[in-house]
Amino acid sequence: MKQNLFPFHLAFPVHDITVARHFYGEVMGLPQGRSSDTWTDFDLFGHQIVVHLKPGMLRDGSSNHENPVDGKDVPVPHFGVVLDMTEHEALANRLRSKGVKFVIEPYVRFHGQVGEQATMFFLDPSGNALEFKAFADPTNLFAT
Protein backbone atom coordinates (compact mmCIF):
# COMPACT_ATOMS: atom_id res chain seq x y z
CA MET A 1 0.00 0.00 0.00
CA LYS A 2 1.34 3.43 -0.95
CA GLN A 3 2.19 5.64 2.02
CA ASN A 4 1.57 9.39 2.28
CA LEU A 5 -1.47 9.37 0.06
CA PHE A 6 -2.89 12.69 -1.02
CA PRO A 7 -6.46 13.37 0.09
CA PHE A 8 -9.11 12.81 -2.54
CA HIS A 9 -11.83 15.33 -3.38
CA LEU A 10 -15.36 14.18 -4.17
CA ALA A 11 -18.34 16.42 -4.88
CA PHE A 12 -21.83 14.94 -5.14
CA PRO A 13 -25.46 16.09 -5.25
CA VAL A 14 -27.93 16.26 -2.37
CA HIS A 15 -31.63 17.10 -2.36
CA ASP A 16 -31.52 19.36 0.73
CA ILE A 17 -28.40 21.19 1.93
CA THR A 18 -29.66 21.60 5.52
CA VAL A 19 -30.48 17.89 5.83
CA ALA A 20 -27.08 17.00 4.31
CA ARG A 21 -25.26 19.29 6.75
CA HIS A 22 -27.03 17.61 9.65
CA PHE A 23 -26.32 14.08 8.40
CA TYR A 24 -22.64 14.53 7.57
CA GLY A 25 -21.89 16.96 10.41
CA GLU A 26 -24.07 15.80 13.31
CA VAL A 27 -24.91 12.17 12.53
CA MET A 28 -21.55 11.11 11.04
CA GLY A 29 -19.58 13.64 13.12
CA LEU A 30 -17.52 15.03 10.24
CA PRO A 31 -15.91 18.45 10.69
CA GLN A 32 -17.45 21.08 8.40
CA GLY A 33 -15.29 23.35 6.27
CA ARG A 34 -16.21 26.15 3.90
CA SER A 35 -19.79 26.51 2.74
CA SER A 36 -22.31 28.64 0.90
CA ASP A 37 -26.07 28.50 0.45
CA THR A 38 -25.68 25.65 -2.07
CA TRP A 39 -22.64 23.61 -0.98
CA THR A 40 -20.60 22.54 2.07
CA ASP A 41 -17.15 20.95 2.48
CA PHE A 42 -16.59 18.16 5.02
CA ASP A 43 -13.46 16.45 6.30
CA LEU A 44 -14.06 12.75 5.62
CA PHE A 45 -11.21 11.15 7.59
CA GLY A 46 -8.68 13.48 5.95
CA HIS A 47 -10.40 13.62 2.55
CA GLN A 48 -12.55 16.43 1.20
CA ILE A 49 -16.14 15.73 0.26
CA VAL A 50 -18.49 18.44 -0.89
CA VAL A 51 -22.27 18.22 -0.83
CA HIS A 52 -23.87 20.31 -3.57
CA LEU A 53 -27.55 21.20 -3.63
CA LYS A 54 -29.23 19.81 -6.74
CA PRO A 55 -32.69 21.41 -7.04
CA GLY A 56 -35.34 18.87 -8.02
CA MET A 57 -33.21 15.87 -7.03
CA LEU A 58 -35.18 12.87 -5.83
CA ARG A 59 -34.09 11.65 -2.42
CA ASP A 60 -34.86 7.97 -2.80
CA GLY A 61 -31.62 6.77 -4.39
CA SER A 62 -33.57 5.59 -7.43
CA SER A 63 -30.57 6.08 -9.70
CA ASN A 64 -28.65 3.40 -7.76
CA HIS A 65 -28.56 -0.29 -8.61
CA GLU A 66 -26.97 -3.29 -6.93
CA ASN A 67 -24.26 -5.79 -7.80
CA PRO A 68 -23.78 -9.03 -5.86
CA VAL A 69 -20.62 -9.20 -3.70
CA ASP A 70 -20.10 -11.97 -1.15
CA GLY A 71 -23.80 -12.87 -1.26
CA LYS A 72 -24.99 -9.29 -0.58
CA ASP A 73 -26.55 -6.71 -2.92
CA VAL A 74 -24.00 -3.87 -2.93
CA PRO A 75 -25.41 -0.47 -3.95
CA VAL A 76 -23.72 1.13 -6.97
CA PRO A 77 -22.49 3.82 -7.14
CA HIS A 78 -21.05 4.24 -3.65
CA PHE A 79 -18.05 5.84 -1.96
CA GLY A 80 -16.33 5.79 1.41
CA VAL A 81 -13.02 5.43 3.16
CA VAL A 82 -10.88 2.50 4.24
CA LEU A 83 -10.44 2.93 8.00
CA ASP A 84 -8.57 0.93 10.60
CA MET A 85 -10.63 -1.61 12.55
CA THR A 86 -10.99 0.62 15.61
CA GLU A 87 -12.25 3.60 13.57
CA HIS A 88 -14.59 1.31 11.60
CA GLU A 89 -16.15 -0.07 14.78
CA ALA A 90 -16.45 3.42 16.31
CA LEU A 91 -18.21 4.74 13.18
CA ALA A 92 -20.58 1.74 13.10
CA ASN A 93 -21.45 2.32 16.77
CA ARG A 94 -21.97 6.05 16.19
CA LEU A 95 -24.27 5.40 13.22
CA ARG A 96 -26.28 2.83 15.21
CA SER A 97 -26.64 5.28 18.12
CA LYS A 98 -27.97 7.92 15.70
CA GLY A 99 -30.54 5.49 14.26
CA VAL A 100 -28.99 5.13 10.80
CA LYS A 101 -30.45 2.19 8.89
CA PHE A 102 -27.87 0.08 7.13
CA VAL A 103 -28.30 -1.21 3.58
CA ILE A 104 -25.76 -3.87 4.57
CA GLU A 105 -25.17 -4.19 8.32
CA PRO A 106 -21.54 -4.10 9.49
CA TYR A 107 -19.97 -7.54 9.04
CA VAL A 108 -16.73 -9.24 7.96
CA ARG A 109 -16.68 -10.42 4.35
CA PHE A 110 -14.22 -12.73 2.61
CA HIS A 111 -13.53 -14.25 6.04
CA GLY A 112 -10.22 -16.13 6.10
CA GLN A 113 -9.34 -15.04 2.55
CA VAL A 114 -6.91 -12.50 1.14
CA GLY A 115 -8.82 -9.24 1.35
CA GLU A 116 -10.77 -10.12 4.51
CA GLN A 117 -12.51 -6.91 5.54
CA ALA A 118 -15.10 -5.39 7.78
CA THR A 119 -17.65 -3.45 5.75
CA MET A 120 -20.92 -1.57 6.08
CA PHE A 121 -23.20 0.26 3.66
CA PHE A 122 -25.77 2.97 4.34
CA LEU A 123 -27.48 5.80 2.48
CA ASP A 124 -27.36 9.50 3.20
CA PRO A 125 -30.70 11.36 3.26
CA SER A 126 -30.40 12.03 -0.51
CA GLY A 127 -29.95 8.33 -1.31
CA ASN A 128 -26.17 8.48 -1.91
CA ALA A 129 -24.68 5.13 -0.93
CA LEU A 130 -21.63 5.04 1.35
CA GLU A 131 -19.34 2.13 2.20
CA PHE A 132 -16.78 2.16 4.97
CA LYS A 133 -14.41 -0.76 5.32
CA ALA A 134 -11.38 -1.91 7.30
CA PHE A 135 -8.99 -4.68 6.32
CA ALA A 136 -7.81 -7.39 8.67
CA ASP A 137 -4.42 -6.93 6.97
CA PRO A 138 -4.17 -3.44 5.44
CA THR A 139 -1.41 -4.57 3.07
CA ASN A 140 -4.09 -6.62 1.25
CA LEU A 141 -6.01 -3.55 0.11
CA PHE A 142 -5.13 -4.25 -3.53
CA ALA A 143 -4.16 -7.94 -3.25
CA THR A 144 -5.68 -10.43 -5.68
- Domain residue ranges in the chain: 9-54+72-140
Partners of 102 in beta bridges: 122
Q: Please enumerate in sequence order all residues whose Cβ is within 8 A of that of 125, keeping only pairs 6 or more positions apart, or say none.
A: 14, 15, 16, 19, 20, 23, 59
Determine the Cα–Cα distance for residues 142 and 132; give it in Å rounded to an integer.
16
2-14 mean pLDDT = 86
Residue 67 banded pLDDT, cuts 50, 70, 90: confident
State mean pLDDT over 76-82. 93
Contact of 113 with 143, CB cutoff 8 Å: no
> Quick one: pLDDT at residue 91?
98
* Residue 140: per-residue pLDDT: 87
- Mean pLDDT of the chain, nearest integer: 91
Query: Are 125 and 23 in contact, with CB atoms under 8 Å apart?
Result: yes
- Residues whose CB is less than 8 angstroms from the CB of residue 90 and which lie 6 or more positions away in sequence, other chains included: none
Which of the pair, 39 or 4, is modelled with greater confidence? Answer: 39
The structural architecture, per CATH, of the domain 9-54+72-140 is Roll (3.10)
For residue 64, is pLDDT > 70? no
Residue type, 79: F
CB-CB contact of 34 with 42 (8 Å): no
* Average pLDDT score over residue span 50-72: 80
Measuring CA to CA, which residue among 9, 39, 16, 43 is closest to residue 124? 16
Summarize the confidence of residues 37-46 as an average pLDDT.
96
Mean pLDDT of the region 84-92: 97
